Amino acid sequence: MNRPNLSVERPRPIRSRRRLYALAAFAVPVILIAAVAVAGRLTLRASLPQLDGTHGVPSLSAPVTIERDALGVPTLRGSTRADVAYATGFVHAQDRFFQMDLLRRVAAGEMSALIGPAALPLDRRNRPHRFRDRAALAFNGLTADQRLLIERYTAGVNDGLDSLKSRPFEYWVLGTHPAAWRPEDTLLVIYAMYLDLQSQEVSRILSRAALRERVPADLFAFLLPTSSHWDAPFDLAASPAVALATPPATRPDWLSASQSASINLSGTPLADNSLMADHAMIGSNGWAVDAAHSAHGGALLASDMHLGLSLPNIWYRLSLTWPGADGKPRHVTGVSLPGGPIVIAGSNGQVAWGFTNSYGRFIDLIELQRNPADPLQYRVAGGGWQRATVHHERIDVKGGAPVDLPVMDTQWGPEIVAGSHAYALRWVAHDPQAVNVNLQHLEDSTSVADALHVAQTSGIPTQNFMVADAHGKIGWTLAGPLPRRSDAAIASGNAVDDLPFDSDTYRNWQGYLAPDAYPSRIDPPLGRLWTANNHTLPASEAALLGDAGADVGARASQIRDDLLALPHASEHDMLAIQTDDRALWIDTWRRLALSALDADALRDHPQRAEFQRLVLAWNGRADTDAVGYRLVRAFYFSLYDGWFGKLDTDLARTLGKNPDIPPPDFRSASSRYEVVMEALAAHHAWVPDGVADWRAFMLERIDHAIAQLPPGVKLADAHWGERNRAAIEHPFARIVPAWLASVRGWLSAPADPLPGDFNMPRVQGPSFGASERIVVSPGREQNGFLEMPGGQSGHPLSPYFLAGHEAWVHGDATPFLPGKTVHQLQLLPQAH
């Protein structure tokens, strides 16, 4: 007989129950967090596009195939150009919609509606241009074919967005939904490029105006040279030797001992990472080589447009294929700008083309002489008065009340206020000629002459346009609108010197030049053409373009010399020039520093001796291991600080606190400040008060440069790559707190040490550099190269988020044409 179990389970000790409760209290949140993380990841993955199979979409005339290679680069094959435009919008929206949304909102001044009050300063700065209204008018003014192209692209964008199983991840983070794309938004994307490429001219004009008020005439002329020994125009005969200027007898008053040159504007000691960290880099290189000077008998084009770098990259690679109206197939490959249906730079098999920013003068500031009795009235030529129109712009703000922004609009453009001055801003971007999609006609161009005419009629920010064709010819012109300036305006000097005009005498620009009046070059005698944001034209033609900060020319002259040294160039030779990081420009400053380091200077100064040793051992490149380059560069900017630091402080005070306009400084006023510094060095001029003599000044600047290194860093370990590390990231990475470093890393490219710097072909900063590198010979696209700093997708979970980035970092050749198909999706027409 079994005995009954009479034992009673004893209660657990109170301490054990507490442990269980504590464990449960810990486990439940962990489980919930894990569940949320899994759900979040699933939600994010749901916003990735479908890559394979079939997908039904409305309003296609026939199926379109989207083939993607291992890098995610799509080839779009359709039966009509309109269907291919639809598919372009479809893939742009699925891979890059948030980027497109930011571009249109930045241009329209509508960021606050998406981001909140933090974006209000940006909207206040951009809304006065009223680009959304202008875009709607411009769209209605396009030809029927161009409107159809954009309408089909727009339909593709919205269908591509709607076909995602979940909205793009950025909108989950922002707690909002994306707004549908509208046809005029495509033109807003062009206006966004105007803001990026031309709006800095306002700062240049105001900086030059502040400088003119600050210094006497002889000093003003010396500080703003119009030419230099670095100039590299197309015509070598137009580039005579230019001697360094002699500093004027007038000694600048800011060199008096009133502020140490080693103190920056905030009054704190400068550090290596901040010393000239805000140096405004400009870049973009483009050149062409004719058939007679190539290795294979075909013309070559090289294009590397330098822009701010972020994730996703500004450009989107693609290849378009469809039958043309003549029955012949069209194949166009290159980079597109998400938001538009065309290839911006690339090749159609007959011609290949690319761009660099021209830095011509496309903005005038007209100082308004106001009527004291009526602040809306301003004086105009002839002595009469005009009255400004007030537009009340409503800025919607996410999470806040809308803001009313009164915009004072004159006959020339909106009013801006800078310090005690009020100006009307006249800008090419405000005129109907500013935007169109004529660039699409490059798809059908078969010769250099055809392509140049297309460029001259295109509505884009005015660019240097380089082209090579399958016949072996090369050419250059300006693409985009060119103001026709009056002889009187040029004679006045304001149109040349980039200074404000007076409203009561302003008659500067009289419409626009016709295409046949544009400067151009076809088949030059040297067989090569080159541009690097520099002066390309002799003085007799330069006035057609003007100068709003053209590059000093060190980069262009290095590219020119590289090209002329190659009797027969190959695609690999072109890529080698694009990635040329030889720092030829800095040799003057290297020799200057070494000349000061004699035996007496080194005695009892081990740091100076180490500086000398490292500079002498330097290989002359701005490569990632270069210590000598970093040290000489710091010495160069230390000299700038010693000569112009106090001037920059004075100029910055002229506008007071104005969040809409960067403070004036000498570098904004003069894009050739290097030449001014060379002249000062050649004449041992401008030793600041309190410094014994020139030699003492040089040694003090060397010591100052050494002191800029971060604490604890030995000179021998001060590699340039440590200073020039990549900071290429998604916009959201900037708002991630430091303690979520892993999330920030998820949204960023690796912090690679990067070779290159300004004033050399490989222009490179942490977040500025080659946004693409193209090398191609039309008709030989299979031998060409195309690389980008970021991948095709803007989605961090996509395998294409950073695909191709490593090749860009190292300058490795990535094929121009898409590779073998890895994924294939067919878009099938279906009824609504």
The answer to whether 498 and 548 are in contact (CB under 8 A) is yes
Structure tokens at 636: 């160069």
Q: pLDDT (tens digit, 9 = 90+) per residue, 548-598?
A: 999 999 999 999 999 999 999 999 999 999 999 999 999 999 999 999 999
Cα(366)–Cα(372) distance, integer angstroms: 18
> Which residues, in sequence order, are bridge partners of residue 405?
393
Question: Tell me, what's the pLDDT at 42?
Answer: 59
Q: Which residue spans within 459-518 are E strands per DSSP? A: 463-469, 474-479, 483-485, 501-502, 509-512
The answer to whether 377 and 387 are in contact (CB under 8 A) is yes
Structure tokens at 91: 């893939």
Q: What pTM did the predictor assign?
A: 0.93
> Which residues, in sequence order, are bridge partners of residue 479?
463
Question: Tell me, what's the pLDDT at 492?
Answer: 56
**For 597-693, where are the alpha helices, taking DSSP H only?**
599-602, 606-617, 627-652, 666-669, 673-682
Question: Tell me, what's the pLDDT at 510?
Answer: 86
Residue 379 burial (10 A CB sphere; 0-12, 13-18, 19+): middle
**Phi and psi angles of residue 604, each rounded to the nearest 5 degrees, phi first:** 65, 20
The answer to whether 762 and 787 are in contact (CB under 8 A) is no
The answer to whether 275 and 639 are in contact (CB under 8 A) is no
Question: Tell me, what's the pLDDT at 22?
Answer: 38
Torsion, CA 651, CA 657, CA 658, CA 662, rounded to 10: 40
Question: Tell me, what's the pLDDT at 738?
Answer: 67
Question: Tell me, what's the pLDDT at 494?
Answer: 53
Half-sphere exposure of 328 (CA within 13 A, CB side): 10
Q: How many CB atoms lie within 10 A of CB 268?
A: 9
Low-confidence residues of the chain: pLDDT under 70: 1-42, 238-240, 257-280, 488-496, 738-741, 832
Encode burial over 505-534: b for 16+ CB neighbours within 10 A, e otherwise: bbebbeeebeeeebbbbeeeeebbbbbbbb
Question: Tell me, what's the pLDDT at 576?
Answer: 98
Question: Tell me, what's the pLDDT at 260?
Answer: 41
**Helices and strands, counts by H and E, the chain:** 26, 29
